[in-house]
């Protein structure tokens, strides 16, 4: 009996590595500390009623951001472990097996559990406020999306200490990810972590399309929408077209692994090439899904801090939509070297280059927005003009170089490629989300972030970035391939790798400075009482910060693009504002515990399927079904905020003005 338990535990828990034991201890201590703090301060009820059951888009947005920053930390630690391993030739800091797990989890976490939730967090925090809405179209669904993401991410992350992490790369190409070469549970954690959170992503896409198309304030025609909202629309359209492909592809992989089917196996007529095509039919639009909202952020930031209208609004809209459409016909540029022949390669090379045109137009538009403006360099603008523009222009250029199919035969799978996509994903996506987070932070929390610490972190991130990734272009041309766990002295790659590692740690320091910046600002920054600390242009700056639960006491009537800016201008010119209509009771959605519980049931079902424990999976699925039924028969989903309460809230918020 005792022996059985010991054997089981040896399989069930990841053992044998001091790093893992350290992590085990840290996880247990952190959990114990959280439980202790919540119990000591009697906060369990607060946690449940205010956060876990909330359907308020602003709170869901905050939870997305917190989760994404935690994932950024985990993915960042993965990155630093890899860079430490590669700092010296023949290093034995990580075994090949461990290294393979780390680059796999680094990739999955950074794209699916860091970039996506940070993006969804910004969608939630900003879009309803920008379009003058009181919430998203489907608040319950929104909460469900978040919790599905959360429990999917937890399921993926738990593989670190239980069962073992996936180790076949972030896109898990078969046959390597099939049972023949990968019999362990790591790959199953990958499948279910992504499936569960992927459903959430799809629903968020639907939710924001409907929100943007149906919930805009009266008078806000499509062509008067703020650019960030446009970019969210472009991104969400791509999500609803691309994510079903991911779900189906991963489901087929699951069927292969679980039921022994032969979609992607070597034997039995399976074809791994089909998987590679399918996964990139999602994977390529995915990178545009995450970058489009970043483009939207840059557009807002540049206009605000140039104190000038965005240049070329129509071009911008057209460019966003063009990118969103063309991104669907470029996927094969990820495998020019698969032997598809000249016709296929030429087609995908050219379709890829075409994307550079609208992207270039956007860069020109941002530059022209500054032209004849009054440009100031608060941190969001610093990230945009000094961080993003040079980084992304160079990253875009290497992207065009990679799209030249016959040359790609020399770049493919090398560190040149690694440097390129980190330059666009960090220089484009991460820099953008950081700029957005700093820009909208005062709207969400009611105080600005400390500028001085923000600038320090900016310089550490940026200098670190170039020190880390510029050498990688060179070492790639020298022949160093990605996913290599070590290399010899004879290769001549050591110096450049060493420099690259220094850069990675500088970026890590930049991240720590950001954490310090946030903590410092929470303690010391003054409250912003204006609701409009940056002299903003769009509707979100017309209401108090943080926004009241109902956002707008009266739904605004929009007349022009950048309506808030125009209102302020009219007021300055002495035009009397129109008399306000009387307040009316506001219709709001009620909190619900079902999204949290249902997603947890998914987690239980997923965990059961990972270990092939039907006794656990079936109750999990029953739980999901019960939650669906319970929600279907719940008619008590909404309430009205009475006028007196609105008056009280507004007085309290405006009273501080």
Partner 1 sequence: MKRGYRRLAATISLAAMAFMLAGCGDKMGVLNPKGAVGKEQLDLIIISTVLCLIVVVPTLVMAFWIAWKYRIKRKQKTDYQPEWSHNTKAEAFMWGIPLVVIIALASITAHYTYKLEPSKPLKAEAEPITIQVASLDWKWLFLYPEQGIATVNYLQFPDNVPVRFELTSDAPMNSFWIPQLGGQIYTMSGMKMKLHLIADEPGEYFGSGANFSGEHFGAMRFVAKATSQDEFDKWVQEVKNSSPALTKEGYDKLALPGVSDKQFFSSFPDGLFDWIVVKYGSGGHGGHADSSSEKGESHGHSEHSEAMVRTATASEEHAHHHD
- Looking at residues 225 to 284 of the shown chain, list those that interact with partner 1 (rule: CB under 8 A): 262, 265-273
Q: What angle do CA 201, 103, 335 make, to 5 degrees?
A: 75
DSSP for residue 567: H
Provide CB contacts within 8 A for 582, sequence distance 6+: none
Least distance CB 306 / partner 1 (angstroms): 7
Contacting partner 1 within 390-449 (CB under 8 A) = 390, 393-394, 397, 400-401, 403-414
Least distance CB 224 / partner 1 (angstroms): 13
**Length in residues, the chain:** 657
Least distance CB 556 / partner 1 (angstroms): 22
Q: According to the binding rule CB under 8 A, does residue 484 interact with partner 1?
A: yes
Q: Which is nearer to partner 1, 125 or 402 (CB)?
A: 402
Least distance CB 328 / partner 1 (angstroms): 19
Q: Which is nearer to partner 1, 175 or 606 (CB)?
A: 175
Q: Which of 15, 30, 49, 376 binds partner 1 (CB under 8 A)?
A: 376
Q: Coil, helix or strand for 454?
A: helix
Neighbour tally for 356: CB within 10 Å: 14
Phi, psi for residue 327 in degrees, rounded to 5 = -60, -20
- Which region among 196-204, 216-224, 290-298, 388-396 touches partner 1 (by CB under 8 A)? 388-396
Look at residues 228, 363, 366, 378 and name the one whose alpha carbon lies nearest to residue 309. 366
Q: How many CA atoms lie within 13 A of 194 on its CB side?
A: 30
Least distance CB 233 / partner 1 (angstroms): 21
Q: Which is nearer to partner 1, 46 or 409 (CB)?
A: 409
Look at residues 489, 231, 524 and name the one whose alpha carbon lies nearest to residue 365. 231
The residues that bridge with 586 in the sheet, in sequence order, are 641
Packed helices 451-477 and 389-403: angle between N→C axes, nearest 10 degrees: 20
Find out whether the peptide bond into 91 is cis, omega within 30 degrees of 0: no
Q: Which is nearer to partner 1, 148 or 297 (CB)?
A: 297
Contacting partner 1 within 53-72 (CB under 8 A) = none
Q: Per the structure block, which two tokens stand in for 26?
A: 């840290």
Long-range own/partner contacts, residues 505-509 (CB < 8 A, 24 or more apart): 505/80, 505/83, 505/464, 506/460, 506/461, 506/463, 506/464, 506/467, 506/468, 507/76, 507/460, 507/461, 507/464, 507/465, 507/468, 508/76, 508/80, 508/464, 509/460, 509/464
Least distance CB 407 / partner 1 (angstroms): 5
| Environment class of 573 (CB within 10 Å of its CB; exposed 0-12, middle 13-18, buried 19+) | exposed
Least distance CB 564 / partner 1 (angstroms): 14
Phi, psi for residue 478 in degrees, rounded to 5 = -80, -5
CA–CA dist 576, 568 (Å, integer):
11
Contacting partner 1 within 168-197 (CB under 8 A) = 168-169, 173, 175-176, 180-181
Q: According to the binding rule CB under 8 A, does residue 570 interact with partner 1?
A: no
Contacting partner 1 within 519-548 (CB under 8 A) = none
Q: Which is nearer to partner 1, 272 or 546 (CB)?
A: 272
Q: Which is nearer to partner 1, 222 or 629 (CB)?
A: 222
Least distance CB 465 / partner 1 (angstroms): 12
- Which region among 185-193, 300-308, 324-332, 617-625 touches partner 1 (by CB under 8 A)? 300-308
DSSP for residue 55: -
Contacting partner 1 within 75-114 (CB under 8 A) = 96-97, 100
Find out whether the peptide bond into 175 is cis, omega within 30 degrees of 0: yes
Let me know: does 287 contact 424? Beta carbons within 8 Å.
yes
Look at residues 104, 81, 98 and name the one whose alpha carbon lies nearest to residue 177. 104
Q: Which is nearer to partner 1, 281 or 385 (CB)?
A: 385
Least distance CB 610 / partner 1 (angstroms): 21
Q: Per the structure block, which two tokens stand in for 37?
A: 């703090």
Q: Which is nearer to partner 1, 254 or 498 (CB)?
A: 498
Contacting partner 1 within 310-369 (CB under 8 A) = 310-315, 335, 337-343, 345-346, 349-350, 353-354, 356-357, 360-361, 363-365, 367-369
CA–CA dist 571, 412 (Å, integer):
58
Q: Per the structure block, which two tokens stand in for 329?
A: 């016909």
Q: Which is nearer to partner 1, 46 or 489 (CB)?
A: 489
Contacting partner 1 within 442-481 (CB under 8 A) = 459, 463, 466-467, 470-471, 474-475, 477-479, 481
Least distance CB 212 / partner 1 (angstroms): 22
CA–CA dist 506, 462 (Å, integer):
9
Q: Which of 67, 496, 604, 646 binds partner 1 (CB under 8 A)?
A: 496
Contacting partner 1 within 20-39 (CB under 8 A) = none
Neighbour-count burial for 364-392, b at 16+ CB within 10 Å, e otherwise: ebbebbbeebeeeebbbbbbbbebbbebb
Least distance CB 61 / partner 1 (angstroms): 30
Q: Which is nearer to partner 1, 67 or 191 (CB)?
A: 191
Least distance CB 526 / partner 1 (angstroms): 22
Q: According to the binding rule CB under 8 A, does residue 572 interact with partner 1?
A: no
Least distance CB 417 / partner 1 (angstroms): 10
Q: Which is nearer to partner 1, 310 or 547 (CB)?
A: 310
Q: Which is nearer to partner 1, 52 or 180 (CB)?
A: 180
Neighbour tally for 600: CB within 10 Å: 18
Task: State the number of binding residues for partner 1 (CB under 8 A).
Answer: 108
CA–CA dist 464, 175 (Å, integer):
37
Q: Which of 308, 334, 422, 448 binds partner 1 (CB under 8 A)?
A: 308
Q: Which is nearer to partner 1, 158 or 463 (CB)?
A: 463
Least distance CB 302 / partner 1 (angstroms): 10
């Amino acid at each position: 009996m005792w022996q059985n338990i010991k054997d089981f535990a040896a399989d069930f828990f990841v053992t044998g590595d001091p790093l893992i034991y350290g992590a085990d201890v840290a996880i247990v201590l952190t959990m114990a500390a959280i439980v202790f703090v919540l119990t000591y301060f009697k906060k369990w009820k607060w946690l449940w009623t205010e956060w876990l059951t909330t359907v308020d888009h602003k709170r869901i947005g905050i939870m997305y951001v917190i989760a994404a920053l935690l994932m950024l930390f985990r993915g960042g630690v993965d990155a630093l472990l890899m860079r430490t391993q590669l700092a010296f030739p023949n290093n034995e800091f990580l075994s090949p097996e461990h290294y393979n797990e780390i680059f796999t989890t680094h990739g999955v976490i950074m794209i699916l559990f860091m970039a996506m939730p940070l993006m969804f967090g910004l969608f939630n925090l900003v879009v309803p406020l920008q379009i003058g809405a009181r919430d998203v179209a489907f608040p319950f669904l929104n909460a469900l999306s978040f919790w599905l993401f959360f429990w999917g991410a937890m399921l993926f992350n738990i593989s670190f200490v239980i069962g073992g992490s996936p180790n076949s790369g972030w896109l898990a190409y078969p046959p390597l990810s099939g049972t023949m070469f990968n019999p362990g549970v790591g790959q199953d954690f990958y499948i279910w972590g992504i499936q569960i959170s992927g459903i959430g992503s799809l629903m968020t896409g639907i939710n924001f399309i409907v929100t943007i198309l149906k919930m805009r304030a009266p008078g806000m025609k499509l062509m008067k929408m703020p650019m960030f909202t446009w970019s969210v629309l472009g991104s969400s359209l791509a999500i609803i077209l691309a994510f079903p492909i991911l779900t189906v592809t991963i489901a087929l992989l699951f069927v292969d692994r679980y039921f022994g089917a032969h979609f992607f196996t070597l034997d039995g007529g399976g074809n791994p090439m089909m998987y590679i095509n399918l996964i990139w039919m999602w994977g390529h639009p995915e990178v545009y899904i995450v970058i489009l909202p970043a483009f939207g952020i840059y557009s807002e930031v540049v206009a605000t801090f140039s104190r000038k209208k965005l240049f070329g609004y129509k071009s911008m809209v057209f460019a966003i939509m063009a990118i969103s459409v063309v991104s669907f016909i470029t996927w094969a540029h990820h495998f020019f070297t698969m032997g598809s022949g000249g016709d296929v390669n030429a087609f995908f090379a050219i379709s890829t280059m075409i994307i550079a045109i609208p992207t270039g137009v956007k860069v020109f538009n941002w530059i022209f927005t500054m032209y004849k403006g009054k440009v100031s360099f608060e941190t969001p603008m610093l990230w945009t003009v000094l961080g993003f523009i040079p980084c992304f222009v160079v990253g875009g250029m290497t992207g065009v170089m990679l799209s030249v199919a016959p040359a790609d035969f020399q770049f493919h799978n090398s560190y040149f490629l690694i440097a390129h996509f980190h330059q666009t994903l960090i220089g484009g996506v991460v820099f953008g989300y950081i700029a957005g987070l700093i820009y909208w932070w005062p709207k969400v929390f009611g105080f600005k972030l400390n500028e001085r610490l923000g600038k320090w972190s900016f310089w550490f991130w940026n200098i670190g970035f170039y020190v880390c990734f510029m050498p990688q272009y060179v070492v790639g041309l020298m022949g160093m391939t990605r996913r290599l766990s070590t290399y010899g002295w004879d290769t001549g790659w050591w110096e450049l790798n060493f420099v690259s590692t220094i850069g990675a740690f500088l970026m890590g320091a930049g991240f720590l400075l950001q954490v310090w910046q946030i903590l410092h600002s929470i303690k010391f920054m003054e409250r912003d009482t204006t609701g409009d600390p940056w002299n903003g242009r769009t509707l979100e700056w017309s209401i108090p910060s943080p926004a009241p639960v109902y956002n707008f006491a009266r739904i605004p009537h929009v007349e022009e693009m950048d309506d808030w800016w125009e209102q302020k201008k009219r007021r300055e010119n002495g035009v009397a504002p129109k008399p306000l209509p009387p307040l009316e009771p506001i219709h709001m959605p009620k909190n619900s515990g079902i999204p949290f519980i249902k997603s947890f049931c998914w987690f239980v079902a997923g965990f059961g399927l990972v270990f092939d424990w039907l006794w656990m999976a079936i109750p999990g699925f029953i739980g999901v079904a019960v939650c669906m039924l319970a929600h279907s028969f719940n008619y008590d989903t909404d309430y009205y905020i009475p006028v007196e309460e609105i008056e009280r809230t507004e007085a309290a918020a405006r009273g501080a003005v």
